[in-house]
Amino acid sequence: MPRATPVLGPAAVDVTLDVNGHARAIHIRPQRTLLDALREDLGLMGAKKVCDEGTCGACTVLVDGRPVYACMTLAVATAGRAVETVEGLAHDGGLHPVQEAFIAHDAFQCGFCTPGQIMSVVALLRARPDVTADDVKRAVTGNLCRCGAYPNIVAAALAAAKRKK
């Protein structure tokens, strides 16, 4: 009986990602998501894998300053673009002002959605330092929080915006 020809996926390729300002060379299959590349190839576990299908926002990272779902983004498509994860926010041993505000305002419970929430707020405040509560709510509309921490998330974002002014 003839043997079935195995179906082979595309061969792995070399790609260099710019993650948090560092060039990171990896060897991956073209269909690998940015989320899997970050977590499994680069050991950056900040972006969380929850739904893995673009519905929760726990995997939110910034690509060229814009929030994207890393689970819905091909890693190879981000070559040559600036990828930022929550691990890249702290500098010189100090947390980013948005991270500090989340702590000060108790803006999380389980914390699973928190890295994604923070990246969405960081992108918002970079683009528009003068924000309202509605702006913040719109910015985190793609970040689901099943713990219901939204009031404190909005308060934290407004406090960080105020500090930035």
Q: Which residues pair with 74 in a beta bridge?
A: 33
Could you tell me the smallest distance in angstroms from the CB atom of residue 40 to ligand FES?
Answer: 14
| Residue 109 near ligand FES by CB under 6 A | yes
In whole angstroms, what is the distance from residue 40 CA to residue 109 CA? 26
With CB under 6 A as the contact rule, the residue among 13, 30, 41, 51 that binds ligand FES is: 51
Could you tell me the smallest distance in angstroms from the CB atom of residue 155 to ligand FES?
Answer: 14
Per-residue CA distances from 1 to 4, 7, 8, 85 (Å):
9, 18, 21, 52
SS3 category, 67: strand
Stretch that binds ligand FES, among 14-22, 56-64, 84-92, 157-165 (CB under 6 A): 56-64
**Contact (CB, 8 A) for 20 and 87:** yes
| Residue 75 near ligand FES by CB under 6 A | no
Stretch that binds ligand FES, among 9-17, 73-81, 102-110, 122-130 (CB under 6 A): 102-110
**Contact (CB, 8 A) for 157 and 131:** yes
Q: Which is nearer to ligand FES, 15 or 39 (CB)?
A: 39
